[in-house]
Structure 1
Amino acid sequence: MSKEMLEVSALTFSIDVDKRLEIPLVPNGQDVLVTFEDKERYIELRIQMKYVTLVEKQVLHFAQGFEDLLDGPYSAFFNTLSLEDLDCLLRGIDQEDISIQEWKLHTEYQGFEEKDDVIGWFWEIIKGMDQTRRRRFLYFWTAVRFLPMNGFEDLPTLTIIRGFLGERDKDG
């Protein structure tokens, strides 16, 4: 950010939380303007506040709950897991390639048949996407960023539904 843009933005050493609460990053931070010379300090303080201080209690409680799992009756299970296995359980797998064939196998059609032109066009569009766009589309459709460990098999069946909007649709 240029010096001029920084001055125009009128940033102060404070952070707004949900537009309801202003928390100072330094004493009286809401009255201290960020200058070009101290912008790095501002960034460090802002990151510390937003990603450490404000979530400290939640992270502590999560860690305590997770520790209870590790020390409780499930400890033998968790002790056999590698970090990669645990990561996969928590967030799913980050596959290099999303299999369109597997995606098709776990998709059903309501009001359509697989041989319908519109379904063919849909899959052609999906095939034409790069992996990043496929992943984004899958997230839009399912709210799942990464596939579960067993891929599409562990997701609810994906459904393409034909909606009927009026009289014209009844006649085709």
Structure 2
Amino acid sequence: MGQRIFALLIGINQYQSENVGNLQGCVRDAESMRDVLLEHSPNAQISLLTDGSATRMEILKAFKQHLFENPLITKTDAIIVYFAGKGQRLPGPAGTPGRDVDILLPQDYSDETHGISDSTLHTLLCDLAKEKGPNIVCFLMLYSGYFRSHRSA
């Protein structure tokens, strides 16, 4: 049996909070990634989360159900995680100078619904590699808004 592809693709244009600006093209990019994967591997197992289905809970649930708990994935299979949307850098915890926290913003990001931190993503990917094998590629296409708010940059 040859190598198979299992992918979790996330694209977010429309954010729930008015405090988070919307984007264009992220959903299209995730759908294009799906199309390319299916063109080259018609039997690829793909979970695609876009806009309203890309909440924090649904993203973490897809990691669990589509990747961790998937009995079809073997150590020789390829796993792809793709996120197109907003990212943000936040100051780290008090007493940890220079340790900012990078986060992915799910569709429902708000003061009540936190982002997915770099340490959470790191733990998920490391645990996934231990359980399902090291053939994991993670694409993060992030828009931070920095250049938009700092026009002189």
TM range (shorter): under 0.3
Structure number with greater CO (CA < 8 Å, separation at least 6) is 2
Bigger helix fraction: 1
Give the TM-score normalised by the residue count of structure 2: 0.19
